[in-house]
Amino acid sequence: MASDKIGFRILPPPARLPSALVDQFRSMASPNIADAMGRFNFMDGIVSRSGVRVCGPALTVNCRPADNLMVHKALQLAERGDVVVVATGGNTVSAVFGGLMGEAASAKGVGGIVVDGALRDIDDLTRLHLPAFSRSVCPGGCDKDGPGEINVPICCGNTVVCPGDLIVGDSDGVAVVPYARAQEVLDLVKQLIGRERARIEEIQKGALFRSDVDDTLRKKGVID
């Protein structure tokens, strides 16, 4: 029987979001997604390392600092397209994922890796065209002893990530779409994109600057 000991356990994932819903997020920009959620639910300080977009459900991992035992296990458990999202307890000098793990992840069809901590072997990850995001890059490695947890809520990039949440990352960073609100967020992003397209048309027709900027300045007594 699998252990349910808090701090050293593996929990089952939620049912996956419908692929048709997930696919609609693949071309959406992370800033638009964050804006649609009230400018919340984006990761702070987590940047792309391989230059490849990511979009897929989160498989979360909570690691002890300088240990990646559970990251290895997460790669075994991941379904095709899953994004392994890792919290490292604030460690940025012990890479929890690198080239060899990238080879295995790529061969299995893992959707990407997001680490609030360090990655290494960036040239290899780039060659593999594997979506890879992290807070830092460092040649240091890890132990493989545990403890750690899989499929639990974690904090990554100063935002909460729950198992099954939709992870969307690009050159601007990473947005996190809550599992239970994915359809709602999708609708809001579509509305936002429509407003942006309308504003672009206004700019192209000569209305370069927003009128509400001066309206606000007048209300504050800055301009007449």
Binned at pLDDT 50, 70 and 90, residue 182 comes out as very high
Residue 31 near residue 109, CB atoms below 8 Å: no
Q: What is the pLDDT of residues 188-221, one digit of tens each?
A: 999 999 999 999 999 999 999 988 999 999 999 9
Taking 70 as the threshold, does the pLDDT of residue 16 lie above it?
A: yes
Q: What is the pLDDT of residues 108-154, one digit of tens each?
A: 999 999 999 999 999 999 999 999 999 999 999 999 999 999 999 99
Alpha carbon 119 to chain centroid, angstroms: 15
Taking 60 as the threshold, does the pLDDT of residue 1 lie above it?
A: no
Q: What is the pLDDT of residues 22-70, one digit of tens each?
A: 999 999 999 999 999 999 999 999 999 999 999 999 999 999 999 999 9
Taking 80 as the threshold, does the pLDDT of residue 167 lie above it?
A: yes
The whole-angstrom separation of Cα 219 and Cα 119 is 49
Residue 146 near residue 67, CB atoms below 8 Å: yes
- pLDDT on residue 14: 97
Alpha carbon 110 to chain centroid, angstroms: 14
CATH domain 8-180 topology = Glucose Oxidase; domain 1 (3.50.30)
Residue 116 near residue 87, CB atoms below 8 Å: yes
- What lies within 8 Å, CB to CB, of 207 at 6+ separation is none
Q: What ranges do the domains of the chain cover?
A: 8-180
Residue 16 near residue 111, CB atoms below 8 Å: no
SS (H, E, C) 165-186: CEEEEECCEEEEECHHHHHHHH
Binned at pLDDT 50, 70 and 90, residue 91 comes out as very high
Instruction: Give the tokens for residue 177.
Output: 């779409």
How much of the chain, in percent, has pLDDT values that exceed 70?
99
State the pairing for strand pair 148-150/54-63.
Answer: antiparallel
Give phi and psi for 85, each to the nearest 5.
-115, 125
Kindly report whether the global pTM for this prediction surpasses the value 0.85. yes
What are the CB-based long-range contacts (under 8 Å, 24+) for 207-210? none
Residue 151 near residue 13, CB atoms below 8 Å: yes
- pLDDT on residue 2: 61
- pLDDT on residue 3: 65
